[in-house]
Chains A and B, each alone.
Chain A
Amino acid sequence: MRLDLNRNGDIAMKTPPIVSPHEWEAARQQLLVKEKDLTRARDALAAERRRMPWLVVEKEYQFDGPNGKASLAKRACWTCSRAAVS
């Protein structure tokens, strides 16, 4: 791949400037401030999520599994009480 040409080979890609190690590290540190803010914001959101109300699952849904019938109450993982189901 040539970076001075796009996929069709006709328009030049406008890539960022090429800088010294010192300038590169300064730019990285500047971005890192925002990235740490995002990490802390994600932690705060997860804390709020843990305070979401719970909803009782009233029906006993039935599934077929590799070892026969299964339900949410009969665990997929024998030791687990929490589950994320995709």
Chain B
Amino acid sequence: MADQVAHLAHLNARDTTLAYASRAPQPDIKRVKARMGWTMPWYTMTDGFDTDFGVDEWHGTNAFIRDGGRVFRTYFINNRGDEALGSTWSYLDLTALGRQEDWEDSPEGYPQAPPYAWWNWHDEYDDAKPPQ
């Protein structure tokens, strides 16, 4: 799945990121990331996160939103539902706030801006930073 993922600078420009989590220790993850040229953040689970969030058996994708110190789970999808993911749009469509574009049917007060106006080259966003 990680081979399908678009450059995360575009997600980051919508105040959103994608992180992977697995049971593998960090040295193994580092080695695979280097071999595959992957740059997304990838964490090692140390507790019951996998069973609590449906990723103990096989892959699954959870969406979270953080508000100050509070974190909410807003969505979960697995099997064929998340194997199709990869584009920036496919991930934004799963998040609580969506693409944050003004054509979207979103609840009142949600952040929205004109489509494509926020889109940029991945190394030309104002707050472009190298991924961790």
- List of B residues within 8 angstroms of A62 by Cβ: 46-47
- List of A residues within 8 angstroms of B98 by Cβ: 46-47, 50
The answer on a CB contact under 8 Å between A83 and B64 is yes
The answer on a CB contact under 8 Å between A73 and B72 is no
The answer on a CB contact under 8 Å between A82 and B64 is yes
- List of B residues within 8 angstroms of A66 by Cβ: 26, 30, 41-42, 132
Interface size on B, residues (CB 8 A): 61
A-B contact count (CB 8 A): 163
Interface of A toward B, CB cutoff 8 Å: 42-44, 46-47, 49-52, 54-57, 59, 61-67, 70, 72-73, 75-86
Given contacts A43-B105, A61-B48, A83-B63, 17 further A-B contacts (CB under 8 A): A46-B94, A47-B105, A50-B106, A54-B65, A57-B72, A59-B47, A62-B46, A63-B45, A65-B44, A80-B17, A81-B66, A83-B65, A84-B64, A84-B91, A85-B19, A86-B62, A86-B82
